[in-house]
A and B are shown apart, each in its own frame.
Chain A
Amino acid sequence: MPAVEDYVARIEETCGEDKSAIVTFKYDRKDEAITRISKKAKLKNSIAGVISEFTYQDVSFRVFSSGKAIFKGIENKEALQKILSALLL
């Protein structure tokens, strides 16, 4: 049974911003994770060829080609886990 942990190495809450979280994907699964996200979320913008801005169910987030993503306005860890499940699984 696939799990979010199969794709995500670490989640860190940011300081200084309103309820943002930085998700670091596992290095060997980052490309697969980004592909899965891009199929389910709506691409709003692409900046400098390395950053993609998505929306999914009123949540906006940015995915970086280095294998990291920043989710903004997420209420708590459970909400983030829910959206990651929807995007990755």
Chain B
Amino acid sequence: MLDAVRGFYENHNANVHRAVHTLSQEATALYENAREKIKKFINAQDSAEIVFVRGTTEAINLVAYSWGLRNLKSGDEVLVSLMEHHSNIVPWEILSKINGFRIQYAKVNSDGTLNYEDYESKFTSKTRLACLGHVSNVSGVINDVKRIGKVAHEHGALMLVDAAQSVPHMPVDVKYLDVDFLAFSGHKMLAPTGIGVLYGQKELLEQLAPFQGGGEMIREVSFSQEQNRSSISWNELPWKFEAGTPNICGAIGLMEAVNYLERLGMAEVLQHEKALTEYALKRMQECSNVMVYGPSDLQLKCGIVPFNVDGLSSHDVALLCDNYGIMLRSGFHCAQPLHQIFKLQSSARASFYVYNTTEEIDRFVDVLKEIANA
């Protein structure tokens, strides 16, 4: 990935879709190759369904403002779960204050799994959109988004999936899942920061208004002297949603990261993380004064282990581990409602990826024992 990014800046650095010169043509080819790669990676129908954005947050905001602003009105309802990352709550709360629609929050069970009965019971004829994270960034719980998507479609609603924690860690097939929108970020899957993807079904994206205005997203800006105004027609998909100079090297880096992950195999990535999680959960049981949250059934979750140490704040734990070169996230993990439900001030989070090993978990558990027994 690093070589690809460096190679772009050293050999092909130019803006895309702008010029006839060689460098621009090369940059454009690389950028569009990246889109094609992502299309195949998540099994989308068409590369026009792949919109490059800054990350999951921008992707969800794009849907909120391009679709939600024009289609949601007073009396409508949007469903979200209480385990969502703030990025799948805040845009809808902001928009509901503008358009006056209602947000319905679906409950989470005591083990952190989604209460499917509660979520499904909240669908009504007023429901326009169902939002759900594919994998919780706090507990690692894997949600059956296909099941919820099916119910959403039966009610004439759209389905939006926050896949920030699933696309990097497991095979994801948008055709199989049959969802309308799916968002993910490059920085969680070995790609640079500042690049992400919004997948949207082509027929749906074609109906949407642009998110931002500027260069690239227009086909024509025609000025009328008589009217003293410009009339504008939009570019084709997906460029209609990519105003301004895009993150070209980010997209190229993401393509190379996907190449690497494909060589590993996404099923193998998931298996590796599940094995590490099983090992970590087993070894963490040796630690007294350590509370681990989330389901114990590994079928329900992937490589995230939230925990607290009795008598210490999550930030104390993270700072202590930092002293030993172990990097943990602490706090709310941008999911404050979930912590409120569990009556937790905060939590520490151990998470695993393709580069982690059981030896590293041994080291982590040794440090945790030292902390918990101090």
Nearest-CB distance from B198 to chain A (Å)? 27
List residues of chain B with CB within 8 A of the CB of A22.
Answer: 315, 319
Nearest-CB distance from B277 to chain A (Å)? 23
List residues of chain B with CB within 8 A of the CB of A17.
Answer: 313-315, 331, 345-346
Asked if A50 CB lies within 8 Å of chain B CBs, one says yes
Interface size class of B (residues with CB under 8 A): 20 to 34
List residues of chain A with CB within 8 A of the CB of B336.
Answer: 15-16
Q: Given the known A-B contacts A47-B374, A48-B371, A70-B315, are A15 and B346 also in contact in the complex, defined by CB atoms under 8 Å?
A: yes
Give the docked Cα–Cα distance between A74 and B319 (Å).
Answer: 18
Asked if B330 CB lies within 8 Å of chain A CBs, one says yes
Nearest-CB distance from B162 to chain A (Å)? 19
Partner of A48, one of B345, B346, B370: B370
Which A residues, 17 to 46, have Cβ-Cβ distances below 8 Å to chain B?
A: 17-18, 20, 22
Asked if B17 CB lies within 8 Å of chain A CBs, one says no
List residues of chain B with CB within 8 A of the CB of A50.
Answer: 320, 323-324
Give the docked Cα–Cα distance between A32 and B374 (Å).
Answer: 26
List residues of chain A with CB within 8 A of the CB of B374.
Answer: 47-48, 51
Q: Given the known A-B contacts A20-B313, A48-B374, A62-B316, are A14 and B322 also in contact in the complex, defined by CB atoms under 8 Å?
A: no
List residues of chain B with CB within 8 A of the CB of A14.
Answer: 315, 330-331, 346
**B320-358 interface mask toward A, CB cutoff 8 Å, 1 = contact, 0 = none?**
101110000011100010010000111100000000000
Q: Given the known A-B contacts A15-B332, A17-B313, A48-B371, are A64 and B319 also in contact in the complex, defined by CB atoms under 8 Å?
A: yes
Nearest-CB distance from A19 to chain B (Å)? 12
Which B residues, 194 to 228, have Cβ-Cβ distances below 8 Å to chain A?
A: none
Give the docked Cα–Cα distance between A17 and B345 (Å).
Answer: 6
User: For the complex, would chain A's binding face be called helix, strand, loop or mixed by DSSP majority?
Assistant: loop
Asked if A85 CB lies within 8 Å of chain B CBs, one says no
Asked if A66 CB lies within 8 Å of chain B CBs, one says yes
Q: CB-nearest residue of chain A relative to B325?
A: A66
Q: Given the known A-B contacts A15-B346, A48-B374, are A64 and B323 also in contact in the complex, defined by CB atoms under 8 Å?
A: yes
A51–B316 CB distance below 8 A: yes
Partner of B319, one of A15, A18, A66, A72: A66
Nearest-CB distance from B83 to chain A (Å)? 16
Q: CB-nearest residue of chain B relative to A15?
A: B331
B331–A47 CB distance below 8 A: no
Closest A-B pairs by Cβ, 6 of them: A16-B346, A15-B331, A47-B374, A16-B331, A16-B332, A50-B323
B-side residues, CB < 8 A to A, are 313-316, 319-320, 322-324, 330-332, 336, 339, 344-347, 370-371, 374
A-B contact pairs, 26 of them (CB 8 A): A14-B330, A14-B346, A15-B332, A15-B336, A16-B314, A16-B331, A16-B332, A16-B336, A16-B339, A16-B345, A16-B347, A17-B315, A17-B331, A20-B313, A22-B315, A47-B320, A47-B371, A48-B320, A51-B320, A51-B323, A62-B319, A64-B322, A64-B323, A66-B322, A66-B323, A70-B315
